[in-house]
Amino acid sequence: MIATSTRRIGYATATSGYTGDEQARRTAILEPHLPPNVVIDAVLLPGPEFLDRAEHFDQAIAAAGEWASTVPPDRYDVLISAGALDPGLVQLRQILSIPVVGPGESSLAIGSILGVPLSIVTVDEHAVAKTAGFLAQTATKPPIVSVRSMDFPVRRIVGDFDGGRDALRREARNAVREDGAQALMLGAMTLGTLGVDQELRDELGVPVINPLEAAITAAVNCIRAIGLPA
């Protein structure tokens, strides 16, 4: 582990399409959740630009594995595999000797504690299709009542944040009113950056689990749990 008092969390995104400004915006959202002696290192891996098609998920997993095999063992104390549906999480844990946090796994753990029927709202049909595998690999989870597509891919969201917010609001409302969801999970990391979590909680009266917040909280708690001051 790192031999200084500063602890480092790696935040690895296995797609390459975010601009420097977008990366800085996301890092600024994460930093308020960090204790004073913990820093975050956001890394874009050389994977597909965005996960626009089914095959891009496999490409992203391969890119993450190749990158992980080059990471020095003392670079990070904890790594966040920054995909809300945890693509490649199992493989990264096999390669790395440090704890690897899955945002989706962390979110479903919270949902399991809540113990109420949950709906996952994600970006498009490709993400919906990958959700089945994500749920199958995640042992701890609440009852899942639906997986809803916004039909608004990440590539489109980063060019139209307001449109992405409107699509998220629509499907969140539908999940509660039509599917009987008593809790919601945002099924894409980008959705966790849109700033509508509390608005949806207030309007719909249900918990809304943000995978960014779930992951960064889990990573900090992991640092503490293994005996590293944070």
Write out pLDDT tens, residues 190-220: 999 999 999 999 999 999 999 999 999 999 9
| Beta-carbon count within 10 A of 169 CB | 18
Q: What is the pLDDT of residue 1?
A: 43
Share of the chain above pLDDT 70, in %: 98
**Do 104-210 and 7-102+213-225 have the same topology in CATH?**
yes
Name the amino acid, one letter, at 215. Answer: A
Q: What is the pLDDT of residue 4?
A: 54
Q: How much is the average pLDDT of 137-149?
A: 97
Above 70 in pLDDT, residue 144? yes
pLDDT averaged over the chain? 95
Task: Return the CATH fold of 7-102+213-225.
Answer: Rossmann fold (3.40.50)
Q: What is the pLDDT of residue 3?
A: 46
Task: Return the CATH fold of 104-210.
Answer: Rossmann fold (3.40.50)
Q: What is the pLDDT of residue 101?
A: 98
Ranges of each domain in the chain: 7-102+213-225, 104-210
Name the amino acid, one letter, at 101. Answer: V
Prediction pTM value: 0.95
Handedness of CA 164, 166, 167, 171 (dihedral sign): positive
Above 50 in pLDDT, residue 57? yes
